[in-house]
Chains A and B, each alone.
Chain A
Amino acid sequence: AQSVAQPEDQVNVAEGNPLTVKCTYSVSGNPYLFWYVQYPNRGLQFLLKYITGDNLVKGSYGFEAEFNKSQTSFHLKKPSALVSDSALYFCAVRPLDQTGANNLFFGTGTRLTVIP
């Protein structure tokens, strides 16, 4: 079975400090991994994805994520947090096999609060 875990329900960080939002996955084979963000009263928005290749993936709004196969992790990072980054972040996985080929399995989300 495929799944992702976001171990932290809430992450607080001071503005200007680096931020990390954690995600670990469990899936057979090599996964496709995604990060989405949900701002208040807005739909989920795609941030970045890992399909293959370079383990460090760069995405929208200055975010990046590092795929670590040995630790089965795909943590989201940003060097300097902005107050406007405060939102709900979801990690998602799509396995390579044909089961559920067209859907994503989402984590439970991590609420990021950037403190001015």
Chain B
Amino acid sequence: DTGVSQDPRHKITKRGQNVTFRCDPISEHNRLYWYRQTLGQGPEFLTYFQNEAQLEKSRLLSDRFSAERPKGSFSTLEIQRTEQGDSAMYLCASSLRAVKTGELFFGEGSRLTVL
């Protein structure tokens, strides 16, 4: 299966620690998205890359959050000084075309638990 893969699938950390999530999109997809999903809510947009350029950032993406896509392939999402409120499922998606015309392909997510 050559879908979107995310690693790790589950991360438990203590408050104040840094965590990093990795996303490998579908190989020919040049667009990559990060979303956050908390219990009982729908996914919330965090940021968007087209190739290596980060073109959109949500106000949800505080200065403790940073995302990169250095070579236009895989992406990382780092959360510094984690807080309990950061506990959520972090979803990565990729697409070949813009949102308005194409569908997003989501990974299974990385679940973060901050103790």
Residues of chain A touching chain B, judged by Cβ–Cβ distance below 8 Å, are 32, 34, 36, 41-46, 49, 51, 90, 92, 94, 96, 100-109
Contacts and interface: CB of A to CB of B under 8 A. Distances in A.
A42 B91 CA distance: 11
A42 B3 CA distance: 11
B40 to A, nearest CB: 7
Contacts of B103: 34, 46, 49
Contacts of A109: 40-42
Interface string B43-76: 1110010100001101000000000000000000
13 contacts: A43-B91, A46-B104, A51-B101, A90-B42, A90-B43, A96-B100, A101-B100, A102-B56, A103-B58, A104-B43, A106-B42, A106-B43, A106-B44
Interface string B75-115: 00000000000000001010000111101111111000000
A102 B58 contact: no
Given A32-B99, A108-B42, A102 B48 contact: yes
Contacts of A90: 42-43
A102 B55 contact: yes
Given A32-B99, A51-B101, A94-B100, A104 B91 contact: no
The interface centre, meaning the residue of B33, B106, B107 with most chain A CB atoms within 10 A of its CB, is: B106
B99 A44 contact: no
A41 B10 CA distance: 12
A49 B103 CA distance: 8
Given A90-B43, A100-B56, A103-B48, A44 B101 contact: no
A41 B108 contact: yes
Contacts of B48: 102-103
